[in-house]
Copies of this chain bind each other. A is one copy, B any other.
């Protein structure tokens, strides 16, 4: 699953002259609105341009030559290429949220409560409702969090539950099924030893396990190895996908819909996609920019969420390349900011 990180190539792109830029933007706006190829006359009619369609046409050939526009076929209008969208996005003055959405966000954060996971999940729903795109909310891994408490609870002689609480507030359970029958006393003792051993370590810390060959030591060893035996990456990452039904609204063609849904099912893939794009501040991957073929007709907007300044996840929006960037980006930005504030604010509220 090697994929390269793509940064927005803003600085590389030679800027277009004012008129070309206006024309390009007009084409993008119109195409986003209508989903149809845009003709020269439609652009010429665009108020802030006082030239004839013929002039627009010759500019369009230039824009096509430079790779910003494309023509589905002769005698059709132009549609933007990924590069065209990229230019558009890079020169977008950041939009403001509509009144309805503002209200929605406000109400949401005023009323939301509960565990982090619930908040993230509901945020995901919120975002997709606001934008009518599918949303992805990623909660950071607790790989770096330290362990606050470990507890071994025994269900019966052969089944024990290892419950670990991390400093980031996450709780993880693991089943232990040793081959010997352990007494409650032994389990308690093992639990005590585990606490002594693991508290304040992170999962990356290697610890010195006892080498004795008695039940307590065996339990301790099994617990530690179970706990540390995680996937090299991504373990503990949480993904919440909201509004997957939007996929059917927003993409056309059953096959495309199926493909996008299939990708959304692979949550690990989605996480790594988001992580790749993630940067400080709002960022967007358009079409094939993320280098992942099956999503070449998609655009993905990602905004980071932090807790106390450290990266704690991200919110994202997935739509077709011809998505309403301004609105969607505004939504992602506002929600990520409010979410950041929400988590920070949780500290001062009590």
Contacts and interface: CB of A to CB of B under 8 A. Distances in A.
A265 interface: yes
A173 to B, nearest CB: 4
A161 B151 contact: no
Interface stretch (A44-52, A88-96, A241-249, A283-291): A241-249
Nearest to A158: B350
A249 B245 contact: no
Contact of A171 (B169, B173, B261): B173
A163 interface: yes
Nearest to A170: B173
A243 B261 CA distance: 9
Nearest to A155: B169
A174 interface: yes
Interface string A151-165: 101011011010101
A120 to B, nearest CB: 14
Nearest to A154: B148
Nearest to A249: B258
Interface string A122-135: 00000000000000
Contact of A163 (B114, B158, B171): B171
8 contacts: A153-B165, A155-B167, A155-B169, A156-B347, A158-B350, A177-B349, A245-B261, A248-B261
4 closest A-B pairs by beta carbon, nearest first, are A245-B261, A158-B350, A248-B258, A245-B262
